[in-house]
Structure 1
Amino acid sequence: MRRSDVPPPEAAGGAAGVVRRLWPAGTLAERLLIGEAPVALTFNGTSHAVMMATPVDLADFATGFALAEGIVPDAGALESLEVLPAAALGGGAGFEVRMWIGEAAMERLRARRRALAGPSGCGLCGLESLDAALPAIAPVTARATFSVAQVMAAVAGLQPAQRLGQATRAAHAAGFWRPGSGLVALREDVGRHNALDKLAGALARAGEDAGDGIVVLTSRVSIELVQKAARLGAPVLAAVSAPTALAVQAAQAAGLTLAGIVRADGCEIFTHPARLGLDEPERRAMREREAMSEREAGGDTGGGDTGSGHAGGGHAGGGHGGGGHGAAGTARLVRMANQIAQFFAAQHPGPPGEAAAAAAVADHLTSFWEPRMRRGILAYVAAGGTGLSPVAAAAVARLAVPAA
């Protein structure tokens, strides 16, 4: 489902205009408010759940709900699906979504019957045991990898596509973003759980594989949303707000990469950063390479550089006479600083992120470079700093001069 297919706010009860009084002006004006209605979900004629939801994309909602609850393994297992206004059935407000499934699936559903009636699509209300609230999640097997810049681009594309959100300022959204395609699908609802169910249903009904893209949310991330995203098979879940501690634990166990507080100037990766090229072993390897290069630059015996360092003397016996590195050692420091700057610039892309990247590089140099290495790079910058990237040079400018 493409963005152009998202229904306008006024469609099918998505929003309604009301007149309200403005204070302190005292004038009357109209505002669009998001729609909310009871939605009854039935399977083979048996009522299963009544959810409060925004009454748009209800076929997607019902399909996604059935998938998330494990009632059916795929959209094809729904033999039929019909959305009916309650008024047409002799009732009052709301809708009924009638689904028919195979008898074996229905028998399994009866065996674990739930009485679920929750406000705005809560994913846990009505569960009959604590174990049911924390079920084992099949691990995410998708092998797709992404960059941090792609995660940020995915989230950035969400808000402009939110028709209900822009009209009412009250809608949650869930979207699916794919490299090369951008935002492939987006669904909105008053409830964040519902929005993700609608997205899952839309993808399943369209035959889209979620294993090669990023699920993006406008909300905080609770454990139910991690469970839903993992069942969807998405390798990355990114949100504008923070996750709960339990959501992080669930994402870690499921092999799901979880990014939160995603903004234009950065984000926070809580689990499985390797999928974004930011794993801790890579960071440790970088530090080991730095230490090895530093040892090579300084020399391990008395045959080091002499008389070829910066002003104040060169290496002699591996020591740092007066704080200067030889030409080869200085070149290694420059190369190392540029590699570190490239690493952190990838986490803070674009001109707006350069200051944050420089700060991160400076913190890294302060934490992991020996004082004589910092003195060497500071002296090099003081002499002109040719060859340092802008981020690396800005980072060095932030360094304090180490004590001799």
Structure 2
Amino acid sequence: MSNPAISYAHITRVTDTLVTATEDALAAEEPLEIRLVHNGQQQSITVTMRSPGQDEELAAGFLFTEGIITQYAAIKTIYYNNNVATVTLQPGITPSLQPAQRNFLANASCGVCGKTDLDAIYTPVSKTTSLIKVPAAILHELPASLRNQQAVFDNTGGLHAAALFNTEGTLLHIKEDIGRHNAVDKLIGIGIKQDLDFSQYGLLLSGRAGFELIQKAAVAGIPVIAAVGAPSSMAVKMAKEWDITLIGFLREGRFNIYHGQEKIAL
């Protein structure tokens, strides 16, 4: 079965003096427009560049992490056709649209592009209150577990991954996308659909941890974030404000704790 997240191109491969005509796997990138239907009105919410596939989860996760809806039950239907995901809300549901207003297309690397003013980058978030405790030994095992299950990355080498993990080191869900914020939205989208208790899970990121990823996790109530790459200064600042345990440079048997050491069993 073909994977919509993978595309193919005819290339000329040069190795030293050897020239070969062959085919190469690419991470597919296409636009997705998310439309919202509520109280008989339809409007376009955003256009984002993403890896095709799991678009219903991406649309639901985006609406949730942007604060437009507060639960999956607010959604009546999600209809996908030709790179457009149309989300129809239940009768009587009024979405909160002001925080999410955007005025241009968001590219695959940007989770807050197009916001109309500085205040609009923030989504209402409450501090986490989870008492979760993650053993350090479990954290050390997570990058290899994630890498072993990155199916599309194995073929293309061009995708980010996000996963939910528990205190036993089990990866519950793994999502890949050319945009790291999209991977997190897909992950949270399936989580709210399954009514998961996010307070019992950590978020694992295959790359760096930026502000927009911390905020998405905070909206869901995820108490621990572990990134293989580096966190940004804004990510650390908001992790402290929202009391999220933030770990960076999780690789090769080491990691840095930037906030929330009490949630890690050292």
Q: Alpha carbons of 1:260 and 1:15: their partners in 2 closer, same or farther (altered >3 Å)? A: same
Q: Find out whether 1:33 has 2:26 as its counterpart.
A: yes
| CA-CA distance at 1:152 after TM superposition | 2.1
| CA-CA distance at 1:146 after TM superposition | 1.2
Q: Find out whether 1:125 has 2:124 as its counterpart.
A: no
Q: 2:58 — aligned with what?
A: 61
Unaligned 5+ runs, structure 2: none
What is the DSSP-based 3-state SS (H/G/I as helix, E as strand, rest coil) of the residue aligned with 1:40?
A: strand
Q: Alpha carbons of 1:42 and 1:247: their partners in 2 closer, same or farther (altered >3 Å)? A: same
Amino acid at match of 1:26: V
Aligned residues: 260
Q: Find out whether 1:83 has 2:80 as its counterpart.
A: yes
Q: 1:96 — aligned with what?
A: 84
Amino acid at match of 2:153: G
Q: 2:13 — aligned with what?
A: 22
Q: 1:356 — aligned with what?
A: none
Q: Which has the larger radius of gyration?
A: 1
Amino acid at match of 2:58: F
Q: Alpha carbons of 1:135 and 1:197: their partners in 2 closer, same or farther (altered >3 Å)? A: closer
| Residue pair 2:181, 2:213 contacting (<8 A) in 1 also | yes
| Residue pair 2:142, 2:169 contacting (<8 A) in 1 also | no
Q: 1:394 — aligned with what?
A: none
Deviation string 1:333-380 (CA, Å, 9 cap, x unpaired) is xxxxxxxxxxxxx5xxxxxxxxxxxxxxxxxxxxxxxxxxxxxxxxxx
Deviation string 1:85-112 (CA, Å, 9 cap, x unpaired) is 2xxxxxxxxx100001246644632696
Equivalent residues in 2 for 1:266-281 (5 A)? 266-277=254-265
Q: Find out whether 1:241 has 2:241 as its counterpart.
A: no
Amino acid at match of 1:242: A
What is the DSSP-based 3-state SS (H/G/I as helix, E as strand, rest coil) of the residue aligned with 1:142?
A: coil
Q: Alpha carbons of 1:261 and 1:273: their partners in 2 closer, same or farther (altered >3 Å)? A: same
Deviation string 1:235-278 (CA, Å, 9 cap, x unpaired) is 1100110100111000011110000100131111111111114x
Q: Alpha carbons of 1:171 and 1:196: their partners in 2 closer, same or farther (altered >3 Å)? A: same
What percentage of aligned pairs have identical amino acids?
A: 27
What is the DSSP-based 3-state SS (H/G/I as helix, E as strand, rest coil) of the residue aligned with 2:96?
A: helix
Equivalent residues in 2 for 1:208-219 (5 A)? 208-219=196-207
Task: Say which of 126, 148, 159 aligns to 2:136.
Answer: 148
| Residue pair 1:48, 1:116 contacting (<8 A) in 2 also | no
| Residue pair 2:188, 2:220 contacting (<8 A) in 1 also | yes
Q: Name the structure with the higher helix share.
A: 1
27-36 or 129-138, larger mean C-alpha shift: 129-138
| Residue pair 1:155, 1:238 contacting (<8 A) in 2 also | no
Amino acid at match of 1:256: I
The normalised TM-score by structure 1 is: 0.61
Task: Say which of 247, 259, 264 aligns to 1:259.
Answer: 247
Amino acid at match of 1:35: A
Q: Find out whether 1:169 has 2:166 as its counterpart.
A: no
Deviation string 1:132-177 (CA, Å, 9 cap, x unpaired) is 2245531112221111112222333111000011110001000011
What is the DSSP-based 3-state SS (H/G/I as helix, E as strand, rest coil) of the residue aligned with 1:159?
A: helix
What is the DSSP-based 3-state SS (H/G/I as helix, E as strand, rest coil) of the residue aligned with 1:108?
A: coil
| Residue pair 1:121, 1:194 contacting (<8 A) in 2 also | no
Amino acid at match of 2:67: G
| Residue pair 1:71, 1:105 contacting (<8 A) in 2 also | no
| CA-CA distance at 1:40 after TM superposition | 0.6
What is the DSSP-based 3-state SS (H/G/I as helix, E as strand, rest coil) of the residue aligned with 1:157?
A: helix
| Residue pair 1:48, 1:115 contacting (<8 A) in 2 also | no
| Residue pair 1:36, 1:190 contacting (<8 A) in 2 also | yes
Structure 2 CA distance for aligned equivalents of residues 273 and 219 of structure 1 = 21
| Residue pair 2:100, 2:120 contacting (<8 A) in 1 also | no
| Residue pair 1:53, 1:121 contacting (<8 A) in 2 also | no
Task: Say which of 179, 183, 201 aligns to 1:195.
Answer: 183
Amino acid at match of 1:51: T
Alignment RMSD, CA only?
1.9
What is the DSSP-based 3-state SS (H/G/I as helix, E as strand, rest coil) of the residue aligned with 1:158?
A: helix
What is the DSSP-based 3-state SS (H/G/I as helix, E as strand, rest coil) of the residue aligned with 1:60?
A: helix
| Residue pair 1:54, 1:190 contacting (<8 A) in 2 also | yes
Structure 1 CA distance for aligned equivalents of residues 253 and 141 of structure 2 = 11
Deviation string 1:23-57 (CA, Å, 9 cap, x unpaired) is 24211121110111110100012111111110111
Amino acid at match of 2:135: S
Structure 2 CA distance for aligned equivalents of residues 165 and 255 of structure 1 = 32
The normalised TM-score by structure 2 is: 0.92
Amino acid at match of 2:156: T
